[in-house]
Amino acid sequence: MGVSATSLAAFLFISCFICLCPELTMAQNAATGVTRHYKFDIRLHNVTRLCKTKSIITVNGKFPGPRIIAREGDRLVIKVVNHVSNNITIHWHGIRQLRTGWADGPAYITQCPIQTGQSYVYNFTIIGQTGTLWYHAHVSWIRSTLYGPILILPRLNTSYPFVKPYKEVPIIFGEWWNNDTEAVINQALQTGAGANISDAYTINGFPGPLYNCSKETFRLKVKPGKTYLLRLINAALNDELFFKIVNHTFTIVDADASYVKPFQTDTIFITPGQTTNVLFKTKSLSSNAKFLMAARPYSTAASGTFDNTTVVGVLEYNHDIKPFSNSSIKGLALPPLPAINATSYVANWTSKFRSLGNSQFPVNVPQTVQKQYFFTVGLGTDPCPKNQTCQGPNGTKFSASVNNVSFNNPTTALLQAHYSRKLNVLTSNFPAFPLNQFNYTGPPPNNTMVSHGTKVVTLPYNTTVELVMQGTSIQGAENHPLHLHGYNFYVVGQGTGNFNSATDPANFNLVDPVERNTVGVPAGGWVAIRFRADNPGVWFMHCHIEIHLSWGLKMAWAVMDGKLPNQKLLPPPLDLPKC
């Protein structure tokens, strides 16, 4: 992605953008707006970072990938052609995919992967969503380089519920490995240890000047006295991040493409998978001033080391045409960020989010629930195979689970099995509550082993659901960002320690809870969400810390068709990849 800000005018006059973007064509769609056609060629491309060049998997040779720009109500038709030796799927993170689960993208959940030389057309409509979402590969660790922003503008003749920004700038946080990330995860799964940490964090693909032999720095060039909309995306594989710009503040206006009651802050916290839109007003400065921006991790991890480094970018006022060099920012102060394990800051941050909740953007949180679930989420262990030395806790292998079930990927996509009623493939007996209760946030039980299976929760159409997700401390208390595909949900409560079903629900917010698609289960605590199961299909739910996903911290919901035609899953497309 480019390093300069993208003007709002370029967004609003999308026809001009089309002339400059060979990936996109557009056709009129009288019912909902327009149909936008993109083509994604998945190719290897040589990229140099930290003085090392490696071949990475990209969309159209771009890192990060090209922007998708659309309006609410638009239909997207995206042809993905796989030119690499790896299997590929792409997930359109946060898009609700109403009745179009075939376009959701997680491998072996809604589709089989796109194999080498094959293609697949993702076809879906953006309904009831405005803001920032993103796309990424959803098979193995390929999303480390294959990701990009989805920028959803309001419908024509409507506007944002906040001041009109002068410019809009996508900012994507990522992680960079000098080594091949497929080799990194394969080694971790083989040895049972934590994965090797990344070599750098990135902002829009650039590591910044604090890393050895780094020659690439993100530059945000601004004018004085203007209001910018920063579209923040955390595409990092394994780390939640704090972000700050020296001597500047933000106004939060959106989370996961849902408007929130605005509040001010000088420090952002964002988990992998989450997006946050912020208004950012520049100062009235006449000089060519520069300020550093920085992001570094939040972690309470006990499951191995993590990348404890800082990525830096530069905010530049009245920039001149002189070439940029790292020496030009020598002596600039770094922004003070919270401590690595600032759990109280994270809890306070998440408690500030409230849905906008006005007549134009109402809150539809279920006031009563028909199904209640209690899921424990956290790490555990697997026994070391015979004749092998393992590097996990006490000679075991790290594993992860929901209600002590570590998810096994099937060999047939679950959505295809669900649609064809091959229920022998779907094991519909995922436990609604932990089978073995214990002090979830206290000393670990003697047996830390997990079970394994491919199990789903089956829901009748339109069921109202309350789910409490309880973090465990079996292998150390960690924050787990849980992402639910196909749905937004309302975060109605959170707390520390063990959830108390007798007293904690009395404090649930059923008036204006924030609406999200990814939420952190607090380290040593719990979070409660509610949603209505009004989207038929099979929907993945998983931790968005990639190593936890690889270890099995995932499950699926199977939502049945409703009675009316517009409540039924659409038939599979003819080009749906086969396993």
Please report the DSSP string for 480-534 in residue order.
EEEEETT--EEEEEEEESS--TTTGGGG---SSBEEESEEEE-TTEEEEEEEEE-
Q: Which residues pair with 68 in a beta bridge?
A: 150
CA distance 429 to 423: 11
Residue listed under structure tokens 């490696």: 54
Q: Terminal CA-to-CA distance of the chain, rounded, Å?
A: 33
Q: Work out the number of other CB atoms within 10 angstroms of the CB of residue 435.
A: 9
Closest CA relative to residue 125, chosen from 1, 31, 236: 31
pLDDT beyond 90 at 15: no
Backbone dihedral angles phi then psi of residue 239, each to the nearest 5 degrees: -135, 135
**How high is the pLDDT of residue 4?**
40
Q: Which residues pair with 122 in a beta bridge?
A: 78
Rounded average pLDDT over 20-47: 75
Q: How do 456-459 and 554-559 pair as beta strands?
A: parallel
**How high is the pLDDT of residue 421?**
84
**How high is the pLDDT of residue 426?**
66
Report which secondary-structure segment, H or E, holds 333.
Answer: none
Residue listed under structure tokens 């150390």: 476
pLDDT (tens digit per residue) in 230-253? 999 999 999 999 999 999 999 999
Mean pLDDT of the chain: 92
CA distance 217 to 203: 8
pLDDT (tens digit per residue) in 473-489? 999 899 999 999 999 99
Report which secondary-structure segment, H or E, holds 18.
Answer: helix 14-20
pLDDT beyond 70 at 1: no
Report which secondary-structure segment, H or E, holds 324.
Answer: none
At 191, the amino acid letter reads: T
**How high is the pLDDT of residue 9?**
40
Predicted TM-score (pTM) of the model is 0.94
Token output for 227: 């209001």
Report which secondary-structure segment, H or E, holds 316.
Answer: strand 311-317
Answer whether the bond into residue 445 is a cis peptide, omega within 30°. Answer: no
Closest CA relative to residue 214, chosen from 224, 202, 226, 223: 202
At 197, the amino acid letter reads: I
89 three-class SS: coil
Q: Which residues contact 59 (CB under 8 A, 6 or more apart)?
A: 40, 41, 42, 65, 66, 146, 148
pLDDT beyond 60 at 501: yes
Domains assigned to the chain? 33-157 (2.60.40.420), 162-355 (2.60.40.420), 371-567 (2.60.40.420)
CA distance 459 to 562: 11
Backbone dihedral angles phi then psi of residue 127, each to the nearest 5 degrees: -120, 120
**How high is the pLDDT of residue 286?**
76
pLDDT (tens digit per residue) in 287-330? 789 999 999 999 987 555 678 999 999 999 986 666 677 777 88
Question: How large is the greatest C-alpha to C-alpha distance in the chain, in angstroms?
Answer: 69
Burial 500-532 (b: 16+ CB within 10 A, else e): eeeebbeebbeebbbbbbbbbbbbbbbbbbbbb
Q: Work out the number of other CB atoms within 10 angstroms of the CB of residue 567.
A: 15
Residue listed under structure tokens 């079930």: 405
